[in-house]
Structure 1
């Protein structure tokens, strides 16, 4: 890649972002950046009452993801060390726009753009998408207590929000390549061939951008 490799894996809850990022880190010997999820003290309450706890939840995620990216930029990217992350901070916009009231969202957007104005931008994004049934199955399999009350309606809407956001992102950021994989059609955890196919696509993209 033209700059120090910085790959971000994105997609809705339960799609397999962390698992794939871990495999990429192992394959390419990149530093792995995992998003903070269960450490969010508001998340359990959020899944029980989205309207009441959305602002606290989103602000916690925003501030922590900002700090993580700042540390990654200074500690790794600035020193030429490649990084793969299991999220992109742009996801905050997807969740916040869906859950916050209009007045809260306006304030949130102002803070978001101030914090992210000079954040490092990935030079490759991997977008994992899947149907509601696949997401629910995978969420159930990983058995996080904090996710047991996720509303399927909310999760379905989130998948649609992600698709819309990614379509706009691709149009607005033609300089950032995006690889999209369908989680209903592949299972890179159980099927090594699927994982090798993903690596092949990444290899090709790295060659194209070098």
Structure 2
């Protein structure tokens, strides 16, 4: 999996004065969600007169998003969406009617001046149809060049256009994913399947409490990959103790009736790994200790297993470059996968989702990410 890139807050102004204006705005919001990133908030929709030319009234709004796209990629995607929704950009100067208009108003508190992008938008302080909906979303945002908040810019704005707030609101397409139906997701998978990356993305986009397995500090792990027979038992025992204590501490802090929690592991993985790595006598003892601990741990209401082919797993392991994982053998990964498959068979109907993510990169490719999210809620 690709490393997760830092996301920026982006404000976009949407406008339409041709065709079914509200549907045009909704189509634009949907397309932005599919390509740019997470839609955080959408302002109320306002009608306003055409500015600088004679034409039908516009419907306008501001969309607050988070995206990891570069500036060049961002503007490229915005122009592509406009074109797909029927926007025709002519060579003549001045304003004209349009099915959709998407302007990048601001990116965090940055100043950007390039051939294709200038932010903050150079005319934002003069446009009531930009400032009023932006006031709805972020009144305290401060213009990095003018040094004034949105509220102050609105008070000083000389635009006397007559804005009318609409009673109908645009829908955030993220709500169609309905991840809020779950309170506790456990994302599991083989070594290198991408479970930590997916859990981190979901936590950020859906405001979930994130529980990540603490495995990097385990002193037995590098030794185990060098000599499995010698270090298997102390490794599995230390993992079991750490996972049990972490889940007991972390999950107990949260209210599973009110908060959304996503974890990149489930305690049962300890038994799956132990069955593969331990000798029969060791496994028998380990199993007794495991079940004493397991009965005290809260169960996820959905268990997600990310499946990848052994070839994909090995490629991911090589890409992330952990030296102690360099000796992992295909046979070991296949044994683990078989152990997971046996465990999955014990789940009641609807309690588990197996998602094949072979060939997907849901960190770098938003379409892949949304494909995985839709598989979770399907």
Uncovered stretches (5+) of structure 1, i.e. residues with no partner: 206-210
| Counterpart residue number, 2:199 | 21
Aligned residue for 2:267, secondary structure, equals: coil
Q: 1:77–1:65: structure 2 CA closer, same or farther, 3 Å change rule?
A: farther
Match of 1:179 among 328, 349, 353: 353
Aligned twin of 1:169: 346
Larger Rg, first or second structure (1 or 2):
2
Structure 2 vs 1, CA of residues 54 and 102 (structure 1 numbering), >3 Å: closer, same or farther?
Answer: same
Aligned to 1:39: 217
Q: Counterpart in 2 of 1:188?
A: 362
* TM-score, reference length from structure 1: 0.88
User: Distance between the aligned counterparts of 1:200 and 1:184, measured in 2?
Assistant: 16
Cα 1:72–1:79 change in 2 (3 A) is: farther
| Higher share in helix | 1
Q: Which runs of 5+ in 2 are unaligned?
A: 1-178
Q: Deviations over 1:100-128 (max 9, x none)?
A: 11111111111101111121000011110
TM-score by length of 2: 0.50
Q: Alignment partner for residue 294 of structure 2, among 116, 121, 133?
A: 116
The residue that corresponds to 1:56 in the other structure is 234
Mapped contact 1:38–1:146 kept (Cα < 8 A): no
Other structure's SS at 1:115 match: helix
Give every structure 1 segment of 4 or more consecutive aligned residues whose post-TM-superposition deviation is greater than 4 Å. 1-4
Give 2:281's match in structure 1, choosing from 93, 100, 103: 103
Per-residue CA shift, 1:69-116, capped at 9, x if unaligned? 111222113573221000011111111111111111111111101111
Q: Give distance in 1, aligned partners of 2:280 and 2:321.
A: 33
SS at match of 1:200: helix
Give SS of 1:140's match.
Answer: helix
Q: Output the CA distance in 1 between the equivalents of 2:262 and 2:246.
A: 13
8 Å CA contact 1:30, 1:81 repeated in 2: yes
Shift of 1:2: 10
The CA RMSD over aligned residues, in Å, is 2.0
Query: Tell me, what secondary structure is at the counterpart of 2:346?
Result: helix
Alpha-carbon displacement from aligned partner over 1:151-204 (angstroms, at most 9, x marks no partner):
2221222222222322x232xx33x621221122432123211211222344x3
Number of equivalenced pairs: 200
CA distance in 1, matches of 2:313, 2:370: 22
Q: Which has the higher contact order (CA 8 A, sep 6+)?
A: 1
After superposition, the Cα gap between the structure-2 partners of 1:129 and 1:201, relative to the gap in structure 1 and judged at 3 Å, is: closer
SS in structure 2 at match of 1:164? helix
Larger proportion of strand = 2
